[in-house]
Structure 1
Amino acid sequence: MNTQFVPIAFAEIHAEVQQHLASLPARIDSFLEEHILASQHYRILLNGQAAGFAAIHNGQLITQFALAMPYKPHGQPVFQQLRKLERVQEAFVPTCDEFFLAHALDEYRQLAKQAYFFRLGQPAQPRQIPSSYALRLAARADTAFIQEHSGDFFAPVERYIEAQELFLVQSGDACVGFGLLDTSSLYPDGASTGMYTLKGLRRRGVGTATITLLIAECERRGLQAVAGCWYGNHASKQTLERAGMFTQTRLLKIHF
């Protein structure tokens, strides 16, 4: 079996990547999505026939590996060849992508739990929208204030403001935090939620209220909300769970 990896622009496989991700049992968040979009993409050819695609970030991190059904039996030798490209040393693999995960595990030397991916659960009762907090769309005039209080957490701030995806969280006239709806480029109806509570106001329910309000804003815009947090960030995990989200997917960093 002659295996070739042909460098291509992402636009050439955008539809295939969207179709592949839509077939998985859970969605990925903006962190992994950004790594995928910033990767070098490859068309996989087997005996000259288009068989699938792969992606490598920064020369060393595999972020995508997929083969069409007729070519899946060749997965192991193809993945072994993929590992020889560029300077590959590791892979970001979401546990919802069974085919990618299985082949990465065949080759692994070390495994690190990188992040949780969250989705919205089905509440037993209607979700309660907090009445003491509200979202206000950030304006250009808010840029310096946001950067002063959150650093580079929402960088690039200007892009998110222009896209109407960044919010100030207000309690009365006071700003108590910020919220983000990072619209997906890989899911036509998806957005990742993010929040930041001002120092001195944490552990008071602001984060939970922010995520709850962002979920409601997603529903208003016809978007499906997802979220992610680092595996060791127990405070963020608890905040997302209190807001009605749950995790069934992990992002693994697999070293070869």
Structure 2
Amino acid sequence: MFAYKKSTLRGNKHFWDSYLESLTSRYDNFLEEHILTSEIYSIYMEDEHIGYFGVFNKEMLTQFFISKSAFKFVQQAFQEVLNVFEIQSAFVPTCDESFLSLCLDKHSKVHLQAYFFEEAEEKVREPEFPRDLMKVATLDDLQEIVAITGDFVDNHEQRIKDQQLYVLRENNEFLGMGLIEDNVIMKNCQATGMFTNEKHRQKGIGRSIILNLKQICHENGKTPLPGCWYYNENSKRTLESSGYISKTRLLRIDF
């Protein structure tokens, strides 16, 4: 009844656009990277192109979309994809209602993976460490960035050249690092992240970096989209104290 052909997101543009319109909120670059590096397959029913899905690392679904005209067959198609492609799990944002519902129909276990945040309409106190202490990283900062932040980010040199990294210093002491990266799927948005030097935690450094990054995003005409691991309570509290709220989760659902 169903057939599958290797394809691309561009080859499914009509469905992709409908998928984006169906989302109830945004997600960050962590999920974006998994979607954009997934193998994409078009779904056909009796030679009619009815949707598409994406598979990351041969076993994890990251996308599943069926047109409204064929939606009454969606559960049947979903089950067949799980069987034919030997899918073990899915990365699902809670803002994708239909994909989430399908995954819950077949789940064996649900893992809470991450929070996705958005700006709240509330005024917060000023950063403890002002903007003028945070500078765009240069190659002169590279050795210290690697030594202090480890594998918090990859491709350090390229990120420095692309002006994605910011270093917060006071009296020449490396207090922390910020990251701004353009989102690809979520247009006009920028992912933000921060790392605080372990020697200087609990001083408001992370919060200051997040607030300063938010300001930079606004100056760029972009919407900041931070996220954090679900069980990182410190990061969650830092983001909330910086004027962010989370209505959306990322789930890993096992089948």
Tell me the TM-score normalised to structure 1 length.
0.92
**Structure 1 residue 131, shift from structure 2 partner:** 5.6
How far residue 135 of structure 1 moved from its aligned partner, in angstroms, is 2.5
Corresponding position of 1:116: 115
Q: 1:188 aligns to what?
A: 187
Deviation digits for residues 211-243 of structure 1 (CA, Å, limit 9, x no counterpart): 111111110111111111111110000000001
Q: How does 1:26-175 map to 2 (within 5 A)?
A: 26-123=25-122, 125=123, 128=126, 132-133=130-131, 134-175=133-174
* Shift in CA distance, 127/67, structure 1 to aligned 2, threshold 3 Å: farther
RMSD: 1.9
- The verdict on how the C-alpha distance between 1:135 and 1:47 changes in structure 2, with shifts beyond 3 A counting, is farther
Q: Give the C-alpha shift of residue 162 in structure 1.
A: 2.4
1:45 shift after superposition: 1.5
Cα gap change, 1:233 to 1:126, in 2 (>3 Å)? closer
How far did residue 46 of structure 1 move? 1.9
Task: Provide the residue aligned with 2:4 in structure 1.
Answer: 5
Residue 20 (str. 1) matches residue 19 (str. 2): yes
Stretches of structure 2 that go unaligned for 5 or more consecutive residues are none
Aligned mates of 1:70, 1:101 — CA distance in 2: 19
Q: Give, as a single letter, the amino acid of the residue that structure 1 aligns with 2:153.
A: F
Any conservation in 2 of the 1:21–1:27 contact (CA below 8 Å)? no
**Structure 1 unmatched ranges of 5 or more:** none
Q: Which residue type is aligned with residue 35 of structure 2?
A: I
Encode CA deviations 1:57-95: one digit per residue, 9 max, x unaligned: 101110011112212221101111111243311101111
Distance 2:222 2:157 in 1: 22
Work out whether residues 132 and 172 of structure 1, in 8 Å CA contact, stay in contact via their aligned partners in 2.
Answer: no
Kept after mapping to 2: 8 A contact 1:117/1:248: yes
Kindly indicate whether the alpha-carbon contact (under 8 Å) linking 1:119 and 1:246 is maintained by their aligned counterparts in 2: yes
Distance 1:153-1:47 versus aligned 2 partners, 3 A rule? same
The alpha carbon displacement at 1:14 in A equals 6.0
Q: CA deviation at 1:193?
A: 0.9
Taking a change above 3 Å as real, the CA distance of residues 19 and 126 of structure 1, as seen in their structure-2 partners, is farther
Number of residue pairs matched? Answer: 254
Separation (CA, whole Å) in 1 of partners of 2:198 and 2:209: 15
Q: How far apart, CA to CA, are the structure 2 residues paired with 1:249 and 1:241?
A: 14
Contact 1:189 1:223 in 2 (8 A): yes
Structure 2 residue identity aligned to 1:132: P
**Which whole-Å CA distance do the structure 1 matches of 2:17 and 2:218 have between them?**
21
Segments ≥4 residues shifted beyond 6 Å = none
2:204 and 2:142 map into 1 onto residues whose CA distance is 25
**CA 1:31/1:18 → structure 2, altered by over 3 Å: closer, same or farther?**
farther
| Distance in 1, Cα, partners of 2:42 & 2:207 | 42
Percent of aligned pairs sharing the same letter: 33
Distance in structure 2 (CA, Å) of the matches to 1:175 and 1:245: 26
Report the AA paired with residue 83 of structure 2. K
Q: C-alpha separation between the residues in 2 aligned to 1:85 and 1:33?
A: 25
CA positional deviation for 1:185: 1.2
